[in-house]
Amino acid sequence: MTGNDSTIQLVSTSVEQTMAIAETVAKAATPGDLVGLIGELGAGKTQFVRGMAVGLGISPRKVSSPTFVFLQEYPVDDTDTDSLVLVHIDAYRLVGVDDLQSIGWDGNAQELRHGAVLAVEWADRITDALGADWLEVALEHTDAGRTITLSPHGLWRDKMPVLRQDLNNITQPEQA
């Protein structure tokens, strides 16, 4: 793991490790948090969301890429709990920020964020609509597997020291 006080860069060598990283991120999330995923096709964005689902108590089998419907909601598996809903948005086919209104996004998605954690694939296509508080997750294929860079914006900066400590338990230091 590398990075400065706010940015964390990890190398994942397996799907399981990527999911464990995402699960840890989800456990750090609170109602209204937004996680924006950036990466090429096949970089692991949807797999990351599956790991987030696990961290929120949702079966990862429920998660699929919402490319053609733009938005999917995944409630927790235990209906007796007040746990967060995972709202999964795919911005790949959106032409611009105006297209977000068709899925109920207003301003920086305050209504969608209520009682939920938002995971936005292709977040780099709508950064102007994300607001000030979000966690950028950039996924990149490498020879070693996958590089995952976590860059906080706004209030996510306050969560990074604890998140860094929690991630130390599941990752190996990046080799120079």
Domain extent listing, the chain: 8-146+155-168
**Lookup: tokens for 9:** 């860069």
Q: For position 108, what pLDDT does the model report?
A: 62
| Residue 8: strand pairing partners | 150
| Spatial separation of the C-alpha atoms in residues 18 and 20, rounded to whole Å | 5
| Spatial separation of the C-alpha atoms in residues 115 and 31, rounded to whole Å | 5
Q: For position 72, what pLDDT does the model report?
A: 78
Q: For position 22, what pLDDT does the model report?
A: 96
| Spans in the chain with pLDDT lower than 50 | 173-176
The whole model's pTM is what? 0.86
| Spatial separation of the C-alpha atoms in residues 51 and 24, rounded to whole Å | 8
Q: For position 136, what pLDDT does the model report?
A: 97
Domain 8-146+155-168 has CATH 3.20.20.70: no
Q: For position 163, what pLDDT does the model report?
A: 94
Q: Which residues of 87-115 are buried (b: 16+ CB within 10 A; e: fewer)?
A: bbbbbeebeeeebbeebebeebbeebbee
Helical packing angle, 45-55 and 15-28, nearest 10°: 50
